[in-house]
Amino acid sequence: MLQEKIQSNKAIIGVIGLGYVGLPLAVEFGKAGFTVLGIDQDNKKLKKLAKRVNYIPDVKTKELFDLLDRKRLIPGNDFAKLKEADVIYICVPTPIDKNKQPDISYIVAVTDQVIKILRKEQLIILGSTTYPGTTEDVVMPRLESTGLKVGKDIFLSFAPERVDPGNKGYTTRNTTKVFGGVTPKCAELTKLLLAKIISNVMQVSSPKVAETEKLLENIFRSVNIALVNELTILCREMGINVWEVIEAASTKPYGFMPFYPGPGIGGHCIPIDPYYLAWKAKEYDLRTRFIELAGEINDGMPHYVVKLTQDGLNKFSKSLSGSKILILGVAYKKDINDVRESPSLKIIEILQAKGAQVIVNDPYIEKIEIKGTQYRSTKVTDKILKTMDAVVIATDHSDYDYEQIVGTSRLVIDTRNATKRLKNKDNVILL
Ligand code: SAJ
């Protein structure tokens, strides 16, 4: 029954969470001919979809609007509608709290809603990045509290997201998706479904393997970014250009992958996901020291950028306090509009606390608020640049005119090697 519905694209797909992961997935299922019920509690998102505003740059606007117009994708906030859904794909956030402890409250809350409408022949897929064991130890008991049995009446698997916001080459469709089913039947149904929208799917032996591989993907990045961040601090003391070192190491055609220093790490994944494994490890009296050390080094980078700014101002016998500082780039990485966990926010907060007069610019972000202070994106003009005591390139958006910035500013702190092609840059301090 469920198998036939999936096979014939007649299955109704519920997607819970219409963010960076859920909306692109909903669009792919809609494009494949499924009817998709998109559920999100954030009325701002629902209003935007109703007013035909596409808030996820990686989603093709025409495709999204066409699906909405044809009611192939039906957004809403009523979980009761999911009774009709044959598949329910959970894509809710899994943040950490201020003590870096995992917070799976969204997963639990949504699961508790799902069990109200749960019925036989439904496939539940958890897509949110989480610690190993969440699917089978947290979600599964709740589902089976209804008396329905996983593997017999209902089906459950874990299939993590792989989204690189802003990456034009790799999309939901052409990026291999890994999944693990609780039982062979769960896996079989999940594979059948995912193969409808993703060209390459990889089945692993259990949800735990899939939960752990996803964390490894992001821990790999966090640890390697921390490695080069630590190296950049040492190279400065040795008078060596770390960017040149990395470029040279990158000529190794095997066994090396370049990562680059930066002002810290942002996004909804890399600064967060590793702590899910660090937390789980403690259950076994183990410490994941690489993860914690990487976090420490990466979290220290915004402070290091402020130190470099202070050193630069000292050359003009100026202190941070009272200095006018322009922060270029608030998004957590270039050419996107996402500020979540952005290191720029931390840099601004520190500068603000030290009494600097901070203004910001980001072509993708109109305004932000930090500790009660609103910052609107200020247009970058020669006049503005000339009045600044320092300009910090925090995000290397492609839109910036780096020639103008370096040619007009008194002091530039370049945390992204964005000025690499410029000749005269005696006024640039490179991270
Ligand atoms: N960063 C560095 N140096 C680097 C690479 C990145 O400082 O060499 C910084 C970035 O500026 C950014 C943060 O780290 O602030 C995260 O960068 P990211 O490139 O990992 O970007 P995300 O978090 O948007 O996307 C990542 C995916 N990125 C890539 O694989 C390139 C991937 O790790 C996950 O698929 C995705 O998060 C996710 O959804 O988990």
Q: What averages of pLDDT result for each successive group of 10 residues across the chain (431 residues)?
A: 97 97 96 98 97 94 98 98 98 94 97 98 98 98 98 98 86 94 98 97 98 97 98 98 98 98 95 95 96 96 98 97 98 94 98 97 96 95 98 98 98 98 96 96
How many C-beta atoms lie closer than 10 Å to residue 121's C-beta? Answer: 15
pLDDT for 168 equals 86
Mutate to test the pocket of ligand 1, among 174, 229, 269 (most ligand atoms within 8 A of CB): 269
Q: Where are the beta strands (DSSP E) in 3-43?
A: 12-16, 35-39
Alpha carbon distance, N-terminus to C-terminus of the chain = 59
Choose among 191, 113, 174, 169: nearest CA to 146.
Answer: 113
Q: How do beta strands 367-370 and 177-181 pair?
A: unpaired
Q: Are 174 and 199 in contact (CB under 8 A)?
A: yes
Query: 14: which strand partners?
Result: 37, 88
CATH of 2-205, one of 3.30.70.100, 3.40.50.720, 3.40.50.80, 3.10.450.50: 3.40.50.720
- 73 Cα distance to chain centroid: 24
For ligand 1, atom 9, name the residue with the nearest CA. Answer: 265
350 half-sphere exposure, CB direction, 13 A CA radius: 20
In CATH terms, 221-430 corresponds, of 3.40.50.720, 3.90.550.10, 3.40.50.150, 3.40.50.1820, to 3.40.50.720
Strands (E), 40-176: 73-76, 87-90, 122-126, 154-158
For residue 316, the model assigns a pLDDT of: 94
Q: Burial of 238 by CB count in 10 Å (0-12 exposed, 13-18 middle, 19+ buried)?
A: exposed
- Nearest-5° angle of CA 412, CA 418, CA 421? 100
- Pick from 6, 4, 2: nearest CA to 196: 6
User: Residues near 272 by Cβ (< 8 Å), separated by ≥ 6?
Assistant: 94, 95, 96, 341
Q: Whose CA is nearest to atom 26 of ligand 1?
A: 164
| Structural domain spans, the chain | 2-205, 221-430
Index of the ligand 1 atom closest to the CA of residue 165: 24
pLDDT at residue 167, as a whole number:
86
Contact of 180 with 204, CB cutoff 8 Å: yes
Q: Which atom of ligand 1 is nearest to the CA of 332?
A: 15
Q: How far apart are CA 2 and CA 145, in angstroms?
A: 22
pLDDT for the residue numbered 345: 98
The contacts of residue 353 (CB under 8 Å, 6+ apart) are: none
Give ligand 1 pocket residues (Cβ under 6 A): 161-165, 217-218, 221, 225, 259-260, 262, 265-267, 269-270, 332-333
Judge whether 2-205 and 221-430 match in fold.
Answer: yes
Ligand 1 mutation pick, 221, 232, 395, max ligand atoms within 8 A of CB: 221
Known catalytic residues are 269
Give yes or no for a contact between 334 and 395, defined as CB atoms under 8 angstroms apart: yes
Query: Following DSSP, what letter does each residue of 146-189 receive, concatenated?
Result: TTPPBTTTEEEEE------TT-SS--TTTS-EEEEESSHHHHHH
Closest CA to 156 of 193, 131, 116: 193
pLDDT of residue 318: 97
Instruction: Report CA(270)–ligand 1 centroid distance (Å).
Output: 6
Ligand 1: nearest atom to the Cα of 129? 40
How does DSSP classify residue 363?
Answer: T
Q: How wide is the angle at C-alpha 354 spanned by C-alphas 351 and 356, nearest 5°?
A: 60
pTM for the whole structure: 0.94
- Residues shown for the chain: 431
